[in-house]
Structure 1
C-alpha cells in the first residue's frame, strides 16, 4: 500500500508539471515576437529608446532596433521601406513625400513631444548672457562665412577672439529647424562650423573650447548642464531660456518645435508594431519628460491615438 501511495503521488506530480508546462507553452505561444526597425533623428532617439526599454518588459521577444542617421537619413531609409518607424525632429519634406510615393509607401505622422533648441557656450564664457535672433542670424547666415569671425563683431564689448561654431550636421532636422527659424531658410547657413550628427560630439566640442558657440536639442543640455552654459534668446519682448514651461507655452520663440514619429503603412499589418506604437503613444508624455523633453497636453495624445487606430483600420 505504501508503495502504491508513492507511485500515485509521483503520477500526480508528473501530471501537474505537465499541466504547468502546457500552460506556459500556451502563454508563450501567444507572446509577440519579431523585429521593429526605427531610424532617424538623434533628438527623438532618447524618447524612442526610453519607450523601447519599457516595452521590452512587456514584450521581451520583440526586438526594437533604433538607428541615429539624422531626420533626413532616417526618411531616406523609411521611403525605401527599410524601417518600420522614423524619428523626426521636423515634418517630412516634399521631396521625401515624393520618395515615399514612388515606393508606394503611405505613412502617418504622430506628434510625440515638444522640444526647445538650446543655444550654448562654454562655462568660461563670461561675456554672453543672451542673444537676439538678429545676432544669431548675423553669426550663422551664409554671408557670415569668412566675414563674421570674432566675438567683438557681434557686440563691440565682447572679446577680440575667434568664434568657434558647433552644430548638427546638414542631415539633421535640428539643423533644418534652426536655420529656418534663425536664418529664414531651411538648410541655409555658413559652412565653416564643426558639424556632427552625434550630439555628444557637440557637447565635448563646446565644453572644451572657451570661445565656442553651438546649438542642439534641449535634452542634451539637460544631460550635460555641468559642462555647458545655456544662453537665453530675446523673443522680441523679453529674454527667455528654454524650459518645460517656456517651450510648452510658446514664449521661447522661435526655437520651440514639436517632435514626430512616422509610421509606415505596411508595418501596421504586424501586431508587434501596432502594440509598440500604441504603447509609445500611451507612455510618450511621461517618458519624454523623464529624458528632458516637454510632453504634449493629454488631449493631444488622445488625438494621436485616435488617428493611429483609424490608420490601422484603413490599412488592414
Structure 2
C-alpha cells in the first residue's frame, strides 16, 4: 500500500528501536554506550528489499522505524510481486525478498545452484479478500465453485451466469498480476491451475485494482486484507463459502482459519550468508521484533509471540 502513512511509533516500540550489531563486514557499525551485541549500537549501509505488494505495507512501516533507530542505514523496499522478488533473489540483486506465498522448489534449487541458502520467516496472517463495487446490491456471498466459474477463462461472463436472478450485466475482472504471490495463491485454491479470464485486468500494484473495482458497478477483484481495510468505505467485501457457510474476512476468522480457503501466512526470505553482515542481521532482527505490531497497524493479523521468538532464535543461529 504505497500511500500508507505511519504515525510516529517510538513510544510503542520503546527499547526495541535500539538494536545491537557486531562490527566488521561490508557495512560499518557505530557503537553505542555499551558497545556489545544487542546492547544499543546503530548500523549503517545500504540494503535493498523487494517482492510482494501484499507484504509491502508491513515492511514499509518496519523500514521507516528501523531508519529512525539507524539514521546511517539506507533501506529501500520495492513491490515487484512475490515472483519478481524471488527472481531478484536468485539473480543476487537482493538478499531479502518478501512473499505472499511459500517459495517454490524450483526457486530453492535455483538459489542453491548459486551457492546460497535461504531462511523462511513468517511475518503475519492475511485473508485474501474478494471485493465488489459498493453499489453492487445482489452479491451477498460466493462459493469457491462460483469464484472458479467466474474467474476461469471461458466460464461465466455475466452475473446471471453465476447465479439465477442476478443481472444480465457483464462482469469486469481485476486481478493481481501473475508475478504476485496473491495470484499464485488464488490460482492454487480457486483456479486450480486453469487459465484466468483473458479479459481480466492484471496489475502488480493493488491500488490499481482498488481503483478499478471502485470505479465500476459490475467489477470484482481480489487482494490482501489490508488493502480492503484501507478502502472499505469504497468497497464491499464478499463473504466466501469454503464449504461450511459464508465467512467474512476479519482478524478473528483469518487467525482461526475459519476464513477458508483464503487465509494464508505472509513471509520474508533472507539469504543465510547475508545475516552475517551487520546491517542485514540488525534489520531482520528488528523485523521479527516489530512485524506483529506493525502488521496489526496496517490491517493484517499478527502471529503468536512464541512464533516470532522461535524465528529470532533461528536468525541468531545463523550468525
Whether 1:101 aligns to 2:120 is no
Task: Confirm or deny: 8 A CA contact 1:119 1:215 kept in the other structure.
Answer: yes
1:142 partner SS: coil
Whether 1:150 aligns to 2:150 is no
CA distance in 2, matches of 1:175, 1:219: 16
1:78 partner SS: helix
CA distance in 2, matches of 1:168, 1:194: 8
**Aligned residue for 1:209?**
216
Whether 1:165 aligns to 2:176 is no
1:247 partner SS: helix
Whether 1:42 aligns to 2:49 is no
Q: TM-score, normalised by structure 1?
A: 0.87
Q: Which runs of 5+ in 2 are unaligned?
A: 1-29, 36-40
CA distance in 1, matches of 2:269, 2:61: 17
Written as runs of structure 1 = structure 2, the 5 A alignment for 1:180-195 is 180-185=188-193, 188-195=195-202
**Aligned residue for 2:103?**
92
Comparing 252-261 and 175-184, the one that deviates more: 175-184
Q: Is the radius of gyration larger for structure 1 or structure 2?
A: 1
Pairing partner for 1:218 from 193, 217, 225: 225
1:266, distance to aligned residue in structure 2 (A)? 2.8
CA distance in 2, matches of 1:26, 1:59: 11
Number of aligned positions between the proteins: 284
Pairing partner for 1:309 from 292, 296, 316: 316
CA distance in 1, matches of 2:195, 2:285: 37
2:134 partner SS: coil
Pairing partner for 1:292 from 299, 314, 319: 299
1:237 partner SS: coil
Q: Which runs of 5+ in 1 are unaligned?
A: 1-24
1:175, distance to aligned residue in structure 2 (A)? 0.3
**Aligned residue for 2:27?**
none
1:92 partner SS: coil
Task: Confirm or deny: 8 A CA contact 2:55 2:100 kept in the other structure.
Answer: yes
Whether 1:179 aligns to 2:190 is no
CA distance in 2, matches of 1:184, 1:203: 24
The C-alpha deviation readout for 1:98-147, integer Å capped at 9, x for no partner, is: 22122112110010100000100001100001001110011112342xxx
1:27, distance to aligned residue in structure 2 (A)? 5.4
Q: Do the aligned partners of residues 240 and 75 (structure 1) sit closer, same or farther apart at CA in structure 2, a change above 3 Å counting?
A: same
Q: TM-score, normalised by structure 2?
A: 0.86
Comparing 34-43 and 297-306, the one that deviates more: 297-306
Q: Which has the higher helix share?
A: 1
2:94 partner SS: coil
Pairing partner for 1:118 from 122, 129, 154: 129
**Aligned residue for 1:83?**
94
CA distance in 2, matches of 1:228, 1:251: 22
RMSD: 1.6
**Aligned residue for 1:134?**
145
Comparing 260-269 and 47-56, the one that deviates more: 260-269
Task: Confirm or deny: 8 A CA contact 2:173 2:221 kept in the other structure.
Answer: yes
**Aligned residue for 1:22?**
none
